[in-house]
């Protein structure tokens, strides 16, 4: 078990931070979800529209390649009936 004073300081006061200013606002002074409908939803739409042409073509290409590969695999897995026509 260590000492209560590590390097001469108590836990919580281990480092002295200088020249850093922090600002905070009391939770009682803030509004919960301000401007979500007026600013948030249009911003989501704008960001979605700006990225859709970057995301959809690769996803569509990947889906088409995957579906083609699955169909081709199923087709190649089947036996060819023409190979067995001469058998009774």
Name the one residue in this structure whose structure tokens are 């108590």. Answer: 10
Degrees to nearest 5, angle at CA 68 with 64 and 73? 150
Q: Hey, what domains does the chain have and what are their CATH numbers?
A: 34-78 (1.20.5.210)
Instruction: Going residue by residue through the chain, which has 88 residues, state the pLDDT in tens, using 9 for 90 and above.
Output: 555 555 566 776 667 778 888 888 888 888 888 888 999 999 999 999 999 999 999 999 999 999 999 999 999 999 998 888 988 7
Predicted local confidence at residue 2, as pLDDT: 54
Q: What is the pTM of this model?
A: 0.55
Q: Are 45 and 39 in contact (CB under 8 A)?
A: no
Query: What is the distance between the alpha carbons of residues 24 and 63, in angstroms, rounded to a whole number?
Result: 48
Q: Which residues pair with 10 in a beta bridge?
A: 5
Predicted local confidence at residue 45, as pLDDT: 95
């Amino acid at each position: 078990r260590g000492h209560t004073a590590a390097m001469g300081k108590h836990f919580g006061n281990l480092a002295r931070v200088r020249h850093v200013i922090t600002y905070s606002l009391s939770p009682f002074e803030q509004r919960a979800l301000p401007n979500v409908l007026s600013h948030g939803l249009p911003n989501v739409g704008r960001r979605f529209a700006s990225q859709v042409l970057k995301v959809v073509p690769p996803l569509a290409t990947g889906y088409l390649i995957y579906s083609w590969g699955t169909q081709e695999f199923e087709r190649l897995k089947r036996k060819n009936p023409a190979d067995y026509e001469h058998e009774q």
